[in-house]
Structure 1
Amino acid sequence: MGEKYVDAMPLAAALLRRPTVLMRHEVMAGLAAAGYADILPAHLGVFQHPGPDGMRPGVLATRTYASKQAMNHLLHQLEEGGYLVRETASGDRRTRIVRLTERGWDAAGVIQQTMLDVDKAWEGALGEETYRELRHGLERLEGVLDTVRL
């Protein structure tokens, strides 16, 4: 078997779970309160940073670890709800890109504001320096996630 892990502090990957669950809950509550109750938790992957506007559906599928079929299903639902349109890319009639509608930009604004509110609370709880270090560490991790083998 493997070595027994003896460090008393939980692993970083385990510690990321609760903040992620909390953030998703807060974003969903914020969207519902703002009148976007038809956005489902599964749709949040489409709206993840840096957002879907101008991206190809296949790129969105890769970013969310979803199949292309699953992503197209989510995009269809969001298109039906008036949040986005899929249009032909200029210069390549075979390539489609996602464009947010005004309703989509408004929903993305609610998501962004909710995240800012939560971030501000976390900064208050951790203190400015620790919060800044946390953000820098997570940003560095984001930069290497595609190269890390699981």
Structure 2
Amino acid sequence: MKAKVQWLDNSRFVGTAESGHTVVMDGDKQSAASPMEMVLMAAGSCASVDVVSILKKARQQVSAVEVELSAERADAVPAVFVRMHLKFIVSGIDISEKHVERAVNLSAEKYCSVSIMLGKSVDVSHSFEVRQAEF
């Protein structure tokens, strides 16, 4: 896997992935997410991909998956993450809590490369909530 990051101006940079997709990052958070916010969102999106895939394979009628992310950073430089929590909110028709719990655990323990990698130095925790879909 390869990527490049180019300075645009001030504290803004554009990252280009090997796939050709781009993302703007702003160290000052003025016009885009900061690099640390991107790491947090990457953990959430990686885990969400797993949870959706696992629930679909379990034939759950999922209509929405959202993950609320929170993180605490060290008070010193470098201000690395010390704690991160991912709360999954899964909506659908007759969603089984056991299936959601299994999907979240499999993502956390086996599949999500981002949160597993971060877990080597960050206290990463997970929770979930199941909601009946509204039509």
When normalised by structure 1's length, the TM-score is 0.37
User: Which structure shows the bigger proportion of residues in helix conformation?
Assistant: 1
Q: TM-score, normalised by structure 2?
A: 0.40
